[in-house]
Structure 1
Amino acid sequence: MAESTEVDYTLNNPDTLTKYKTAAQISQKVLEAVTGKSQALVIAAVEGIKILELCQKGDELLEEEIAKVYKGKKITKVLTTQWFLYPSGVAHPTTVSPSSFVTPYTPLVSDTEEAETTIKAGEVIKIQLGAQIDGFGTIVSDTIIVAGKESADGVVEGREADLVHATHYANELLLRLLLPPGLLASGTDEEKAKAAAEKPPTQSKISSLIEKVAKTFDCNVVENTTSWLFERNEIEGKKKIILSPSGGVKGDGSPEVGEVWGVELGLSLGSGKVKTLPQRPTLHRRTTTTYILKRPSSRQTLSEIVKKFGTFPFSLRQLEDEKAGKVGVVECVRGGVVRQYEPAGESDNAPVSRLLTTIAITKNGLTRLAAPPAPDLSKFKTDKKIEDEEILKILEKPLARSTGSKGKKNKKKKKTTKKASGEEEEESDAE
């Protein structure tokens, strides 16, 4: 009888987590370079730089780092004698969203006016990108305030500072609310069983608690902010959690051990309501819909999309011929084989933030695979603080247990860090 060659792509397979972590290292490295938080700066988000230029350089860095993965190494295919290299690529192109933009934004070279858009001093911008290895994608987004609004001592004050604090704490709260009940419980077997029997918080409860944090800093949650279950070749899985839902949309499901999620948090200094922007949709993604395209240009565009990007998001500027791609993608969208992401912004034109963290949930807790670096909150002055006891109690909880299996060397890396809310957390590999 022939042996099965079916591959286990869940986190039960150690190779899966390794691929996620490899992709995450690339995503993290490039994000820090683009945001200017890396020591090895090539290009960074500073006043006067063109958004297009920043996006292009971010994509170049992504491709350079991805090309290094497993380069020249032969990896045995399961139960065969064939050799192959893990297919890898960009899981999300570099996007740079101006202050009031809610969705990822990436202008085209051929759209002359938008191609000249530059970053302004004091602007709240969101940078998002991602890499994938063998279909296991990690996407990360960070929000930064472009230098120019800080005081002489380098401290940012005012509403932008409120937004930074609100975004940080709301994100930390959201991550803790996604931990399966009882996963990190301690005590007797009976106490652990009781904790594990608890139901996870409802999506309504999650949304309510996040809104409380936002209101503390006079902010609002951006409507329909969505976190998704990630799977192989899929960044919009069967489960999703929606904050501040509107228009009849609703989430479905809760995170479980063995899953990877893309956790998104978006806040606004305005109402949090969203409007469609007049900019051209430039971010697209192939769907699973089958449709016979009539135009040769459309078929050629789709063929390139399938070959280069699979089912991951891409920008039209990443196509070999951007102008031809703009024409060819029209029928692809109309036929439903390609989805376009409509540009959206804050209805009051107020600044918004967005963080996106790719997490893995294992038996030892939650691991941030690719995450925006924590801000130095001492550089953002606000007179507001969280006083809600329920929220403070949740923020004090760790995200993962310390495995204690890597000796004294790693213990030095696991220093307890105190944050401005009094929160304490021990980081762990949680494998």
Structure 2
Amino acid sequence: MSSTYAKPVDEKPRSTAEADLTKYKSAADIVHNVMKKLVELSVDGANILELCVKGDQLIEEGTGAVYNKTVKGIKVTKGSLTHYSSIIDLSDPVASSRTLVKGDVVKLHLGAHIDGFASVAAETLVVGATPDAPVTGRQADAIKAAWHAAEIAMRLVKAGNKNWAVTDAVNKVTAAWDCKAVEGMLSCQHEQNVIDGKKRIILNPGEQQKKDFETATFAENEVYGIDILVTTGEDGKARMEDTKATVYQRDSTITYQLKMKNSRAVFSEVQKKAGSLPFNIRALEDEKKARLGLQEACQHALVKPYDVM
């Protein structure tokens, strides 16, 4: 469960602050509308890859209707992920015939940005659940715990509060449902072209993470993406899946001259399409060439892969 919490930025001239907030809100409205449509389409027999492609298509249509892509200084992009059953995060099918079946737990995770101002959202559902046949048992506990934890987290992200207040509250809420927040998962500050900013909130930290994690105080006009992941597992730990990464992100702090022609071409495409924001490999022109090109970029830390958990 994920959402973007935004306020205008007073440090900028008023006209600029209002324009930035409009971009956040416009991106959020688009993501919200696409999410509603994908929830409707997440039914027994739906193809997972087709859901992702449909999400991309709808987000592109939505951003295209708000801002003309040729307007100077305005850049739009899109992305949609679908996870099912035991997959926690960062799985984006590239070529798959896998379809949803009744009882699957599905996480829809969408994001869009306008001129680098990103809004993200996530929804968890169980295929086939209805008011007359609701989700029950531990699946229901986890979903309910995540929803309540997200609600209280968003209310605690306010000026003067510290990140640990959110961590502690989420732990208490999830415990009430006999669940745990997934250990070490992060919610980060958003800025233009940045969704993993310096100020962060950690969920269910281990002892060493508590010692190492930096305390942060929320300030007026900051923007955060709140990402709540909950498990019924006793230890709350995520485990890496033996699955190829499909989501990557460029590290704009690293410079290196790539040696291979294909690597340079792929990296150039990444810079053009995604900048420093996360992207799925499916968004690149040729997936096979992209995988080869990204290998060298990853080896030299120009691009980092997101492990599937």
TM-score by shorter chain over 0.5? yes
Residue aligning to 1:121? 102
- Give 1:157 deviation, angstroms: 2.0
Report matched runs for 1:193-208 at 5 Å: 200-201=161-162, 203=164, 205-208=165-168
Deviations 1:362-401 (A, max 9, x none): xxxxxxxxxxxxxxxxxxxxxxxxxxxxxxxxxxxxxxxx
What is the CA RMSD across the aligned residues, in angstroms? Answer: 2.2
Amino acid at match of 2:181: V
Deviations 1:134-184 (A, max 9, x none): 111111111111115x68x23322222222221221111111221224xxx
Structure whose alpha-carbon radius of gyration is higher = 1
Amino acid at match of 1:105: S
Residue 238 of structure 2: which of 274, 279, 299 is its match? 274
The number of aligned residues is: 294
Residue 176 of structure 2: which of 191, 213, 216 is its match? 216
Residue aligning to 1:32? 36
- Give 1:206 deviation, angstroms: 3.1
Residue aligning to 2:43? 46
Deviations 1:196-224 (A, max 9, x none): xxxx2451x43232222111111111111
The answer to whether the 8 Å contact 2:73/2:115 transfers is no
CA distance in 1, matches of 2:189, 2:155: 16
Evaluate the alpha carbon distance shift between residue 231 and residue 11 of structure 1 in structure 2; reply closer, same or farther with a 3 A threshold.
farther
- The DSSP-based 3-state class of the residue aligned with 1:275 is coil
Unaligned 5+ runs, structure 2: 1-10
Relative to total residues, which structure has the larger helix share, 1 or 2? 2
Evaluate the alpha carbon distance shift between residue 73 and residue 107 of structure 1 in structure 2; reply closer, same or farther with a 3 A threshold.
closer
The answer to whether the 8 Å contact 2:281/2:290 transfers is yes
CA distance in 2, matches of 1:243, 1:126: 18
The question of 1:23 aligning with 2:20 is answered no
- The DSSP-based 3-state class of the residue aligned with 2:45 is coil
Deviations 1:210-264 (A, max 9, x none): 2221111111111112110000001011111101123535244132111111011
- The DSSP-based 3-state class of the residue aligned with 2:110 is strand
Report matched runs for 1:117-266 at 5 Å: 117-147=98-128, 153-181=132-160, 200-201=161-162, 203=164, 205-246=165-206, 248=209, 250-266=213-229
- Paired-residue identity, %: 34
- The DSSP-based 3-state class of the residue aligned with 2:304 is strand
The question of 1:322 aligning with 2:282 is answered no
Residue aligning to 1:378? none
- The DSSP-based 3-state class of the residue aligned with 1:285 is strand
The answer to whether the 8 Å contact 2:240/2:308 transfers is yes
- Give 1:12 deviation, angstroms: 6.9
CA distance in 1, matches of 2:240, 2:15: 38
Deviations 1:6-33 (A, max 9, x none): x948997211111111111111111111
CA distance in 2, matches of 1:103, 1:9: 38
The answer to whether the 8 Å contact 2:43/2:127 transfers is yes
CA distance in 2, matches of 1:300, 1:72: 22
CA distance in 2, matches of 1:10, 1:334: 43
The question of 1:88 aligning with 2:52 is answered no
The answer to whether the 8 Å contact 2:163/2:218 transfers is no
The answer to whether the 8 Å contact 1:120/1:146 transfers is yes
Evaluate the alpha carbon distance shift between residue 215 and residue 337 of structure 1 in structure 2; reply closer, same or farther with a 3 A threshold.
same
- The DSSP-based 3-state class of the residue aligned with 1:227 is strand
- The DSSP-based 3-state class of the residue aligned with 2:229 is strand
**TM-score for both structures, normalised by structure 1:** 0.64
Amino acid at match of 2:240: T
The question of 1:285 aligning with 2:224 is answered no
Amino acid at match of 1:314: F
The answer to whether the 8 Å contact 2:189/2:197 transfers is yes
- Give 1:328 deviation, angstroms: 0.7
CA distance in 2, matches of 1:16, 1:120: 41
Unaligned 5+ runs, structure 1: 1-6, 37-43, 75-83, 110-114, 182-199, 345-431
The answer to whether the 8 Å contact 1:126/1:142 transfers is yes
CA distance in 1, matches of 2:13, 2:238: 37
- The DSSP-based 3-state class of the residue aligned with 1:274 is coil
Residue aligning to 1:295? 260
Report matched runs for 1:254-403 at 5 Å: 254-271=217-234, 272-288=236-252, 289-344=254-309
- The DSSP-based 3-state class of the residue aligned with 1:137 is strand
CA distance in 2, matches of 1:322, 1:290: 24
